[in-house]
Chains A and B, each alone.
Chain A
Amino acid sequence: MDQFLEFFIENAGIIAALPLWTFLIIIFGQNLGVYDNKKITVWLTCASTFIGFLWALFIFLWTLGAEEPFTKNIAWINAGNIQLSFGWLLDNLAAVMLLVVTSVSLLIQIYSHGYMNKDEGYHRFFSYLNLFNFSMLGLVLSSNLFQIYIFWELVGLSSYLLIGFWYRRPSAAHAATKAFIINRIGDCGLLIGIISFLFFSLNWWAASGDVYLSFTSLQPAAEYVLTSAGPIVYFLIATAIFLGPMAKSAQFPLHTWLPDAMEGPTPISALIHAATMVAAGVFLIARAYPVFEASSCVMTTIAWIGGITAFITATIALTQYDLKKTLAYSTCSQLGFMVMAMGAGAFAAGLFHLVTHAYFKAMLFLCSGTVIHGLNDQQDMRFMGGLRKHMPVVAYTYLIGCLAISGILLSGFWSKEEIFSGLYAGNNVSLLSLGLIVAFMTAFYMFRTYFLTFEGQYKGHTHPHNSPKVMTVPLILLAIPSALLGIMLSGKFFLPSFDKYIIAGKESFIHLEHNENLLLPVISILIALSGVLTAAFFFWDGFKEKRESVKITADNVIKSAKPIYALTTNLWYIDKFYYAFIDKVFLPICNFISRFDKYIIDGLVNLTATKIRFEGWVLRQFQTGQIQTYLAIMFAGLIGLVLIFVLLQLLLI
């Protein structure tokens, strides 16, 4: 058995290579006209992901018995004192992420076969999906910080391609460019951070003989950097590295690309912009945890950025009418939760929430995709309603998702509760109360979408049509982990514990004692329930008479709280501020420099030329070749000299 597992460990790179091969097969197969059958594409894709999933399972089995993480590296660049490598690092964290990515991917690929079937870019879509899988799995397997940077940019590329999948639509093209550029800001920070980290620890790496920037030795290296660079510089370095996760995991103030990214096909929103890629930021924080942990200022910054993001985006989600946008803001908010947990030292809780969130959020997005598909691309919830009768499977799975994300007994409850108890144990009262407020809002806006979409009367115009099995089966399959994964990994009732598994071998991390008293879970459930009830009061038809009798309807509330409502519907003016900054400050600066270049710098060059030409012209006047001119000048000169001579004589006398 051991040797059998050994094979999978030694060749783990194949998990990432399989989708790359599939990508190449589809690209060349399509462009060289080898085949044109959609079945081939989808089977190849699903097979490669399924093999990856099995492979990940074996790796997971191996990690249960392994004591040390496994690494394997291949040199990539060797020049001077720089040595950069590619490789893979297998430990518990990698195994979990591999399982999550491959399983969600597989289900979404099956779903996409139904969703994209009528689209002319079917093969293109699947080739991009494979490219994404390659980059994401490469990122998860990365053995060092530098390699993670490479795949970091590649997942960004796949996201760019997929957001801009319908590139004829100006809004999609715009969203894709925006996503890439905002992510570039994060990448730039990450690159500066990595290079400066490497610079300060160069001697350490050279002495250790380990692969440069390897995750396994990051902790002593971080301590070395802290002592050699000093706390202030270290804070800057770690914050620069954190810029990467901030952009990728859509944290305030770089979160604005994620809601726009919903311009892509819905399976992409589910896979990339909810379950996997955006979680890569949290994954990087987990991977490079020793770097952040070494400085408490950095940790506090991270926690607060996460908390602020969770709060701001939750308030925005309250008032959105676009179903996908609401889910997108909810994703931002949940990512904020994870980042906050990471920053507060609740390492395992953050990752636990990442895992559960991946399943239920992917499912929620797929549900919304089915709804949108069934209503012929209607995304506005004001034109939905009563869909439970038309698509019961979707409605019930969506309800499971809502319960899960709101934290009512299903998976989200267990992971969120852990985050809360982590914050409580760390005495972060302010963050804890922020988290509880956000939990209330989460329950409210999720059930608001549920009531508006699936309950009440249908308010749209097109006839809702049901979806094929290929789209509903993945929903049902995703509903299982969404409902049960939380309790199954909670470590309660003699069930296995996710925390113990993920912390194993990292005892040195800040380990927050798990809070065993029942007060916190009860409070969090009560808060979630009150959120649900509030949503029901405003949006469920069962309470219609009641709310009209006390005259507290959604419209009245909006009227009475106009400034706040305006703030959230305008997305806190963050995007507006950015666009104003670009239009009023950045582009004018560029134009000014451009004009400076054209008129001043080039002007000086041309002025020099003109000056020389003028001098030439002046001299040319004396070189006309006409004997009359020469004689006239000679005569004038002679007279001039005589005059001077005479004048001098007169003056001297």
Chain B
Amino acid sequence: MSFLSLTLLIFLPLAGALIIYGPWFPQNEVKIRRFAKGFAGFIFVYSLLFLAFFNPTEKGFQFTETLTFPDGSPWIEPLGVNFSLAVDGISIILVVLTTFLVLLGLIASKFSITKRHKFYYSMIFVLQTAILGVFTAKDLFLFILFWEIELIPMYFLISVWGTGKKEYSAMKFVLYTFTGSIFMLASILAVVYYNYIQTGIWTFDLNTYTYMKAFTYPTLFGILTFLGFFIAFAVKLPVVPFHTWLPDAHVDAPTPVSMLLAGMLLKMGGYGMIRMNLQMMPEILKILSPLIVIFAVINIIYAALIAIAQKDLKKLVAYSSVSHMGIVLLGIGAMNIAGVSGAVFQMVAHGIISAGLFMIVGVIYLRTHTREIAELGGLGQNAPKIMYFSMIIALASLGLPLLIGFAAETLTFYGAFTSNVFNGFYILNQYIPLSIRLLTAIAIIGIIFAAIYILWMFHRVFWGNMFDKWEKFHDASPHEMVVLISLIFVIVVFGVYPAGLINIFAPTISSFMNLI
């Protein structure tokens, strides 16, 4: 299996970016896009090979790869920083999700990107490298490095090709994430230093801190470090009240970028939380889980209520994203196998569904140049295909059984409900008998709100009377069909057969949950 190299996988997109951006590549828009799609398709297939050769039952990291200098010394020797990559059951899923969504995003770029094509496609590839890097890094230093690199292409993607207050939104996104990651940097250094004190070795190796974890952290130190990580990931996930960058960024980003933003970038937050907060310091998470679960419930309900009030289609979808990511947080807070499996499943499900929803918003915007729900209506009359595709994706989003969202939500709710992580908690020495079961029951009410905002939106956009001005609203074009059908294919396949997905990551989760 020597041809399966993670280093190659994560640097292939970068190579693609260089090929496109270089002066040797023709300026012709069609050629650029064709090459980009082909290249992304190749990367997708290559990542599928990793999945094919991945052994779910093996514990810990696989495909581990450490690059050294020719003389055998590591990357930054004095600090014990290695350039080392690996995947386990959780990250392999997210890697494949990333390559899949980038491919679809590039296909979806045909009409929404109208200028500076070379720059755009190379930026998408740089973004892909950074995100793949985050998901595959087996070294804390490398992790934060890729985490920060991701901001650069994202800034350009929003501010150059976006609409509306695009510079403001791009800057807000970058500064917000950056502020969050400062806390993460501090926490990483704290953890590494603590390890140095305990063992006398400088190392950033993720495996040491997660699967091979040898000690528990003292409570106060642990809580501070935990919160450092949590803030960084909470901004990314996002967790209310750190979420306000998201609606702005989504609304002003072009369609494919919104798809990638919701589909992959938010997952970095969930992934980080599982790796650092859950796997690295479970004993602290156990103490703070009431906080996490309360945050999760607020996320689910609060964002859903806001989504109901939205008049802008894209904002509605953005807030539905926030609401759905609350389910990820709930699963993590539950701290049992079913809950965490549900969280990972929800990350995949949300990645597919939200990409689909943003694609639909893009399809509509392209034809009508408006995102005001009140301006739309009766669009299904001329575009039944778009209507039915939207309906399936919308139904998946509200968690209809046999579609991908349902298995994720049910697993999480079940996990959270059966969790024994807390039956109540103390605030200022005052015992509050609010068990995780009660909080989960409140969270489940969120599925009613999800039905309300999704179906009401669908009803107002596609059903009922049509305005005369949308007479010429034409049905899906072939490349839109390709994107939507691919997403729906995944939605249906893993909705009907969730075990196909669960079997990949559940053994990983049970292996580290058993360590806790």
Contacts and interface: CB of A to CB of B under 8 A. Distances in A.
Interface of B is mostly: helix
Interface string B441-457: 10011011001100110
B70 interface: no
Interface string B119-149: 0000000000000000000000000000000
B309 A593 contact: yes
Contacts of A177: 455-456, 458-459
Contacts of B383: none
A198 B302 contact: no
B506 A153 contact: no
Contacts of A167: 380, 462-464
Contacts of B410: 191
Contacts of B448: 181, 184-185, 188
A3 interface: no
B180 to A, nearest CB: 12
Nearest to A157: B400
Contacts of B418: 81-82, 195, 198-199, 202
A173 B456 CA distance: 10
Nearest to A27: B388
B288 to A, nearest CB: 22
A234 to B, nearest CB: 14
Given A180-B451, A181-B455, A199-B417, A587 B411 contact: no
A597 B247 CA distance: 11
A515 B455 CA distance: 49
Interface in B22-80: none
A180 to B, nearest CB: 6
A609 B173 CA distance: 12
Contacts of A82: 338, 411, 414-415, 418
A550 interface: no
A173 B464 contact: yes
Given A82-B414, A191-B413, A184 B444 contact: no
A269 B502 CA distance: 40
Contacts of A32: none
Interface residues of B, number: 59
A631 interface: no
Contacts of A195: 413-414, 417-418, 440, 444
Contact of B437 (A150, A151, A180, A196): A196
A415 to B, nearest CB: 33
A79 interface: yes
A587 B406 CA distance: 27
Contact of A196 (B310, B402, B441, B464): B441
The contact size tier of chain A is 35 or more
Nearest to A180: B455
Contact of B463 (A164, A184, A594, A597): A164
A602 B244 contact: yes
Contacts of B506: 78-80
A187 B308 contact: no
A185 B447 CA distance: 9
Given A170-B465, A589-B305, A77 B378 contact: no
A198 B418 CA distance: 9
A602 B510 CA distance: 39
Q: Which of B401, B464, B498 has the most CB of A within 10 A?
A: B401
Q: Which of A80, A192, A601 has the most CB of B within 10 A?
A: A80
Given A80-B415, A196-B437, A605-B244, A154 B401 contact: yes
Contacts of A168: 378, 380-381, 463-466
A79 B455 contact: no
A415 B459 CA distance: 41
A154 B337 contact: no
A487 to B, nearest CB: 40
Contacts of B414: 82, 195, 198
B465 A154 contact: no
A76 interface: yes
B478 interface: no
Interface of A: 75-82, 149-151, 153-154, 157, 164, 167-170, 172-174, 176-177, 180-181, 184-185, 187-188, 191-192, 195-196, 198-199, 202, 587, 589-591, 593-594, 597, 601-602, 605, 609
Given A76-B498, A80-B506, 7 more contacts: A77-B498, A78-B502, A80-B341, A82-B418, A157-B400, A181-B455, A188-B448
